[in-house]
Amino acid sequence: MLNLSFMSIHLDGFSCPPDVLDFFPDNFQQEAKNMAITLQGKAAIVTGGGRGIGRGIAHVFAEEGAKVLVVNRSEAAGQTVVDEITAKGGTAVLCQGDVKSKADMEKMATACIDNFGAIDVLCLNAGIFPQALLSDMTEEMWDNVINTNLKGILFGTQACIPQMKEQKSGRIVVVSSITGPQVGWPGLCHYMASKGGANAFIRGASLELAKYNITVNGVSPGSIMTEGLAELGGEALKEISDIIPAGYIGEPEDIAYALLYFASDQSRYVTGQILVVDGGQVLPESPAAMGDA
Catalytic amino acids? 191
Q: Rounded to an integer, what distance in angstroms lies between the CA atom of residue 281 and that of residue 209?
A: 32
| Total Cβ atoms within 10 A of residue 131 | 14
200 contacts: CB under 8 Å, gap ≥ 6: none
Q: Are 252 and 273 in contact (CB under 8 A)?
A: no
What are the backbone angles phi and psi of residue 225, rounded to the nearest 5°?
-75, 80
